[in-house]
Amino acid sequence: MPSFRIHRLKGHLRQAFRSAPHVSGAAVVKPRDYEPASVVEAVSPYSAFFALRDSAQPLEVGDLLEAENGSLRICKFVGFEEAHWAEPVPLPETTAAIE
């Protein structure tokens, strides 16, 4: 059975996420905003949600599910949507003339 790694949104960011407007398209998320949690075995993100719904730590809005293949799904009010880890922006290479 497939499994999903759970990444929990840090507590101090949860309210800001809940009040942010819904946007379409893939969400870009920062690894520093999430804490790795447990693993849940489920065939889909929705079955994982329902399996954890009555547990001590259910999935909440803003939490991520990472599939075995590395794809991310973020839990929103409207369901699960695609997400991607933010890529660090490379710093411009500067060449200082040493004379």
Give pLDDT tens digits for 16-38: 887 777 777 888 899 999 999 99
- The model scores a pTM over 0.85: no
Q: How many CA atoms lie within 13 A of 14 on its CB side?
A: 13
Confidence at 66, pLDDT banded by 50, 70, 90? very high
pLDDT in tens, 85-96: 998 777 787 765
Name 77's Cβ contacts closer than 8 Å, sequence gap at least 6: 22, 61
Query: Can you give the residue ranges of every domain in the chain?
Result: 3-85
Task: Give strand pairing partners of 80.
Answer: 75
